[in-house]
Structure 1
Amino acid sequence: MKSRGLLSVLTFSEKRENLLFLLLNEPKTIAEIKGYLNVSTPEIFPRIKEMETKNLIYKENKYYALTPIGKVVAKFFQPLVNTLHVIEENEEFWKEHNIEAIPQCFLERIDELGNCRFIENRLEEMYEPHTEFFENISKSELVMGVAPVFNPAYPAFFLQLALHKVHVSLILTKNVFEKVKNEYRDDLQRFLECNNTSLYVLDDISLAFVVTDIFLSLSLFYKNGIFDAQRDLISFDESALKWGEELFNYYKEHSKEIKSL
């Protein structure tokens, strides 16, 4: 009963939750707490007293700080809150798509996607790169991409990035690679000849994403197996870039490098 009471103190009040994470950084005065959380004394003071009663925070001189127990709770509670935020803010996206394509070990770190959101192309533009995607990738110095579907705009697009000294690493499915090799052989040959590119082939991949030094863009298949060419989930958080880079390396380890045709 005590643990359930402690859980309710945090989960039933956004103010208490925010206060817990605020004090995780450093102790604060009541004036600082009110300023950071944009609340009045009558709004926040009862929450403070409740958290003091639960041994989550304490007051020393004029500063409020987390107790050792409060620090433990904050450390393990924050990833859960972040995970729920990522899911709830993009609930439709996760519900409609095959998220089993994301390896379980990465799904368990989905909180690292941070302040992500999805962008959507109009139906008549669904096979064109998203404008926001194009603008962000054009400003990047490092690009890593995974492609399970073919887009006729991409061979020339990624070649131009490489020719402009952007470091580009791509993983293609076997079918996509064969199509590019057969229909865009000259572009592919020039891409491979650049000293700032690398290309890998994997039998099958059930998700598409690009991660750069600026942003992460993730596209998934619907549950019926059709690729969603309209919507991308994007994030600019450093934790999301790290997540995407590690996901790329995960697939790279299972791929065959192509050095020449």
Structure 2
Amino acid sequence: MKSRGLLSVLTFSEKRKGILFLLEEKPRTLSEIREHFNVSSPEISPRIKEMQTSNLIRKDEKRYHITPMGKAIASHYRPLLDILATIEKNESFWNEHTVEDIPPHLLEDLAQIRGCEVISDSIENIYESHKIFADNISKSNYVKGISPIFIPTYPDFFTSLAENHVPTSLILTENVFFKVATEHRGKLQFFLDSPKSELYVINDVKLAFVVTDYFFSLSLFYENGSYDPRSDLVGYDESSIKWGEEIFEYYRRRSRRIVSL
């Protein structure tokens, strides 16, 4: 069968796709397949026959099994479905912003943050998400993040983290670092003097995020280069936090550390 026909076997039928993944778990009898999908034999049997013809599944005396070819296809097909589901879940967020500064290998692994949800503020209260940010930080045992934008409350906020001995690692862009060093020099030096604080500077980056042991939050820029302060992608699951940790390490390795002014 041509690959185009084989692709249609799975993409044009939710039942065929479901059968493939069901038998990937373990062999099943016809009655078990029917029970899983809550359908009758006349409804499911044609789908099973099509998959047998395509060498995706086979049948012994009692049960249906996934074939080696079926396993190979399932191992590649599931990640595709996962990343599509991740994008579709928050489609407007991904479509409206530039993602060019998300590291390529992590953009390819976008399904890891499928548990994230978009938190959007109204135009009348664009900093509501920052209240959620502060609340989540208060529940965290460490903080890592990148900031390409300056928010007036942040110098006091991160000084308080240093005062409370919360391990904190920040990456600022050159422009933000210059502004903080110029206008909040004392607070910045206090942060640098804290034994549990680290500061890095990078030339430029078009994304902002924070990751802790409790949550992950990502905000992006529009295609025209302006920052979107109203929408944050937030997740609390282990997979999202791990993805965020990997972004931080990617940019930390490309930054220079500041130890004093």
Q: What TM bracket, shorter-length normalisation? A: 0.7 to 0.9
Does the alignment pair 1:179 with 2:179?
yes
Give structure 1 regions of 4+ aligned residues with deviation exceeding 6 angstroms: none
Does the alignment pair 1:39 with 2:45?
no
Q: Decide which moves more: 205-214 or 51-60.
A: 51-60
Partners in 1 of 2:76 and 2:239 — Cα distance? 17
Partners in 2 of 1:45 and 1:232 — Cα distance? 46
| Superposition TM-score, scaled by structure 1 size | 0.86
* Gapped regions of structure 1 (runs ≥ 5): none
| SS of equivalent residue, structure 1 residue 99 | coil
Residue 114 of structure 1 is matched in structure 2 by 114
Aligned 8 A contact 1:119 1:231 in 2: yes
Residue 11 of structure 1 is matched in structure 2 by 11
Alignment of 1:80-119 (within 5 A): 80-119=80-119
Aligned 8 A contact 1:141 1:167 in 2: yes
Aligned 8 A contact 2:117 2:233 in 1: yes
Which letter does structure 1 place at the counterpart of 2:98?
Answer: N
Count of residue correspondences: 260
Partners in 1 of 2:196 and 2:34 — Cα distance? 51
Partners in 2 of 1:65 and 1:94 — Cα distance? 38
Aligned-residue CA RMSD (Å): 2.5
1:141: Cα distance to partner?
2.0
**Based on CA coordinates, which of the two structures has the bigger radius of gyration?**
2
CA separation of 1:117/1:2 partners in 2, compared to 1, >3 Å: closer, same or farther? same
1:170: Cα distance to partner?
0.8
Aligned 8 A contact 1:121 1:130 in 2: no
Aligned 8 A contact 2:30 2:63 in 1: yes
Which letter does structure 1 place at the counterpart of 2:100?
Answer: E
Partners in 2 of 1:135 and 1:34 — Cα distance? 48
Which letter does structure 1 place at the counterpart of 2:254?
Answer: H
CA separation of 1:254/1:7 partners in 2, compared to 1, >3 Å: closer, same or farther? same
Residue 223 of structure 1 is matched in structure 2 by 223
Does the alignment pair 1:71 with 2:56?
no
Residue 168 of structure 1 is matched in structure 2 by 168
Partners in 1 of 2:133 and 2:37 — Cα distance? 35
Which letter does structure 2 place at the counterpart of 1:189?
Answer: Q
Does the alignment pair 1:139 with 2:166?
no
1:60: Cα distance to partner?
5.0
Q: Decide which moves more: 153-162 or 82-91.
A: 153-162
Which letter does structure 2 place at the counterpart of 1:207?
Answer: L
Does the alignment pair 1:56 with 2:61?
no
Partners in 2 of 1:155 and 1:34 — Cα distance? 61
Aligned 8 A contact 1:114 1:237 in 2: no
Aligned 8 A contact 2:103 2:250 in 1: no
Partners in 2 of 1:138 and 1:249 — Cα distance? 23
